[in-house]
A = this chain, B = another copy of it.
Amino acid sequence: MTIQNNEHTPRGPSDHSIRDRVVEAATEHFGHFGFEKTTVSDLAKSIGFSKAYIYKFFDSKQAIGEVICTNRLAMIMDIVHSAIADAPSAAEKMRRLFRALTEAGSDLFFHDRKLYDIAAVAARDKWPSAEKHEERLKKLIEQIILEGRQSGEFERKTPLDEAAHAIYLVMRPYISPVQLQYNLETASSAAAILSSLILRSLSP
């Protein structure tokens, strides 16, 4: 399944704005009726476009879902980056990263439940948007570890990729929308307790 991508497809600005309009309407529509229960026909009807016209811009329902996910994940990464930007140490960055991700996930669950459901499908079915997000988070964890190693806050013996992957695994049940729903009650206290454990594991 290929996903149409604005950046690599030469299209005029009006095509852009039509894509945007479809995505906006779909975000609203899926948000109300749920992603899995809605067809492209339902969506087309609600926007007042023909199904064929929508298929001119998107290969599939998943392709529309991908754009919605990508947008939301970009928003979450923005929140994360501003949460850690002015942290005084790598340790504090790690804590804030975990907290910001848990809060963003809980927020999505409680305030955008239907979009949370799209995110859960994306995670379950390993959509490219979800996989890329995972990669981005692992890279960010690596960066924070490197920073802490350079400043002498963290140990340097463990291979960087192993340390980053292990930390990602500790965080995943509170990040992945498929799993977070089982951990919502304890997510914020768990993020604090597990951050401390992660930092103990990093201490020189």
Q: Mark A162-185, 1 if CB is under 8 A from B, else 0.
A: 110111011011001011001100
Residues of chain B contacted by A179 (CB below 8 angstroms):
173, 179, 182-183
For A44, what are the chain B residues with a Cβ–Cβ distance below 8 Å? none
Name the distance in Å between A120's Cβ and chain B's nearest Cβ: 10
Contact call A178/B182, Cβ cutoff below 8 A:
yes
**A194 lies within 8 A of B182 (CB):** no
Residue of B with least CB distance to A178: B182
Distance A178 CA – B70 CA, assembled complex (angstroms): 28
Q: Which of A1-9, A74-82, A195-203 contacts the other chain?
A: A195-203
Residues of B within 8 A of A182 (CB): 124, 176, 178-179
**Among A173, A179, A190: residue with most chain B CB under 10 A:** A173
Question: Copies of this chain, how many?
Answer: 2
Task: Give the contact-size bracket for chain A.
Answer: 20 to 34
A158 located at the interface, meaning its Cβ lies under 8 Å from any Cβ of chain B in the complex: yes
Contact of A201 among B124, B172, B178, B198 (CB under 8 A): B198
Q: How far is the CB of A169 from chain B (nearest CB, A)?
A: 5
For A202, the chain B residues whose CB sits under 8 A away are 200
Q: A124-B182, A166-B197 are in contact. List 6 more A-B contacts (CB 8 A).
A: A155-B200, A162-B196, A163-B197, A169-B190, A170-B194, A173-B179
